[in-house]
Structure 1
Amino acid sequence: MALPASFAVAALWLSGCAENGVMTPSGPIAAAEKSHMIWFFLWMLPVCLPILIGLPWICIKYRRKGGKGAYRPNWSHSTMAETLIWGGSTLTVILLGVLIWINTIGEDPYKHTGANPIKVQVVGSEWKWMFIYPGKMATVNKVVLPQHTPVEFDITAAGAMQSFWIPRLAGQIYAMPGMQTKMNMTTGDLAKLEGFNSQFNGAAFPLDKFEVDVVSKQDYESFLQSPRQPWNDLLTEFKKVATWNGPQIFDAPPKGWWDKASMDPSMVTNGGAAILDDHDPEQKSIDEAIHSELHLSQNKPQGDAQ
């Protein structure tokens, strides 16, 4: 009875992952990753199930008092058992290796998922995200994309290492200072999604999230015409604060700014934001915001998070 009960508890516990996780994909890349995960799980069952079932069976059958297993002190080898144990494991490893290799090459994040992708440049900094639509606009903690459209993200970081992840659209990819990476994907149906940093990197890690809106192409064009604030205001504030209070829209930076910033992170951050003194006013506001985010206290108000 314990085994079915354990599976039931695990299923109930993991059901919370469905709302904004890889098991509810909203794009073709994420859908393929969900399929891979299910197939890999099924292929691992021939290796895992005998262990999960056999271990309690052996413990019961050969227990010290009341066990019914035969005592065979001179038994040392079984060709059939060796063949099943090592042969099954070897076959599983080979099959999984081939499948992973094929799928990894087929879904290379650097490979375009369609013609004429929308280009978005990304800068991750503890604990906020900047998105640049080259020649059009820049946003903080919000990215808007048209539905069923290829997208190419150019990604870098300033300060601590980040991991860029929109679970319902594609897998994660790391972002580090002085380094450029790419993530190609295709959006799906209209949706309000959430992206975040999946690499723990300091005091405000639970707040390191951003909004992802997949909208109609008409709404996307309207978004590009949104009122915005001066670029210099964004850069000044981005360097000054550790976290950002809500998404905002700004003018685009000068041409080539992102390439320069990816090689010189000091253009984006003053550095050391991940290390704040416990009594620093900014750290106190971050602590309050984290308490509210994690529901640790229903009595504390949402902090300014700046």
Structure 2
Amino acid sequence: MSPLGPIAAAEKSHMIVFFLWMLPVCLPILIGLPWILIKYRRKGGTGAYHPEWSHSTLAEAVIWGGSSVAVVILGVLVWMNTISEDPYKHTGANPIKVQVVGSEWKWMFIYPGKMASVNKVVLPENTPVEFDITATGAMQSFWIPRLAGQIYAMPGMQTKMNMTTGELAQLEGFNSQFNGAAFPLDKFEVDVVTKAQYDAFLQEPRKPWADLLTQFKKVATWDGPQIFDAPPKGWWDKASMNPDLANEGGAAILPDAAPEQKKIDDAIRNELHISQNQSQGDAQ
């Protein structure tokens, strides 16, 4: 409800409009039910008892006609908004392209021909962005709430999400699809920066691509964001069709006694402790 980009702002507007259109359907029920229970209660009720009454054409018309009109209007609005905000449709000319690989329980971001990062994506302000998204192992749901809605990513498949960034901000993205032991840790940093800061980010020192790939396959969770060289050209397309290139069989289910599971349990306890002690403003 605190949108940063135009896509998230439109989604907020849709939610408000849908809520208002549902009020004519919901309010009579929410108000009428307690009113009827009070007025026609067995002891102390003031409503007249009419055992022969069975039908009212006017009541039928209001109840079914009003709700039908509301459903038709909502259906048209949903259809129009879905078409206008198709995630495959570019939100501007010459978007920045970022390839995404979601895995249990970490995110890889590839800036084709430039660099790669894990659990951190940096984007210039007020700029169109095109994400190409896939997953390895369990299904993921890619979501940066203040920029755009979520979109599912599945192993062996490709999808897209287009958006435009907003003003300077430090945001959080995460996987909204519950998918196993370290789900609470499945988050990534999103920094919306100036164009100069974005260009500087692309020039930061980095580690070899081979180190990223070896570690990405080996571990279930990732300790902090890191930056690496870009993969060979076409690697993301190959990985989207063959998830084993980035994942050794999946890690969604780990034995309780496995060292990696103990590490995950400890990290989740620390994460929950931090979240419970944050102020509401910090949490948002």
Confirm or deny: 8 A CA contact 2:104 2:250 kept in the other structure: no
Letter in 1 for 2:88: Y
**Corresponding residue number in structure 1 for 2:264:** 286
1:248 to 218, 221, 226: 226
**Residue 68 of structure 1: how far off its partner (Å):** 1.2
The answer for the alignment partner of 1:140 in structure 2 is 118
Superposed counterparts of 1:1-306, under 5 Å: 23-295=1-273
| 1:119 Cα deviation after fit | 0.1
RMSD over aligned CA atoms reads 1.1
SS of the equivalent of 2:100 reads strand
Mapped partners of 1:85, 1:74: distance in 2: 21
Distance 1:297 1:200, change over 3 A: closer
2:282 matched residue in structure 1: none
Q: In 1, Cα distance between the equivalents of 2:159 and 2:141?
A: 11
Indicate the SS of the match to 1:115. coil
Q: TM (normalized to structure 1)? A: 0.89
Question: TM-score w.r.t. structure 2 length?
Answer: 0.96
Provide the rounded CA distance (Å) in 1 between the counterparts of 2:274 and 2:8: 32
Amino acid at match of 1:67: G
Provide the rounded CA distance (Å) in 2 between the counterparts of 1:126 and 1:109: 24
- Structure 1 residue 150, shift from structure 2 partner: 0.3
- Tell me which amino acid in the other structure corresponds to 1:251: D
Match of 1:8 in 2: none
Q: Distance in 2 between matches of 1:296 and 1:140?
A: 22
The letter for the 1-side match of 2:27 is L
How far apart, in 1, do the equivalents of 2:29 and 2:273 lie? 38
Secondary structure of the corresponding residue to residue 12 of structure 2: helix
Contact 2:136 2:250 in 1 (8 A): no
Whichever residue aligns with residue 94 of structure 2, its letter is: N
Q: CA deviation at 1:295?
A: 2.1
The amino acid that maps onto 1:78 is S
Structure 2 portions without partners, runs of 5+:
277-284
Q: 2:18 corresponds to which letter in structure 1?
A: F
Instruction: Look up the SS of the partner of 1:295 in the other structure.
Output: helix
Q: Secondary structure at the match of 2:54?
A: coil
Alignment: residue pair count: 276
2: CA distance between counterparts of 1:290 and 1:198?
A: 16
Structure 2 CA distance for aligned equivalents of residues 93 and 297 of structure 1: 39
Q: Which amino acid aligns with 2:160?
A: K
User: In the alignment, which residue of structure 2 is the partner of 1:9?
Assistant: none
SS in structure 2 of the partner of residue 171 of structure 1 = coil
Q: In the TM superposition, what is the alpha-carbon distance from 1:297 to its structure 2 partner?
A: 10
Contact 1:151 1:184 in 2 (8 A): yes
The Cα of 1:296 is off from its aligned counterpart by 8.6
Deviations 1:199-229 (A, max 9, x none): 0000000100000000000000000000000
CA pair 193-53 structure 1, distance change in 2 beyond 3 A: same
> What percentage of residue pairs aligned between the two structures are identical?
83
- Residues 97 and 112 of structure 2 are in contact (CA less than 8 Å); yes or no, is this contact kept in structure 1? yes
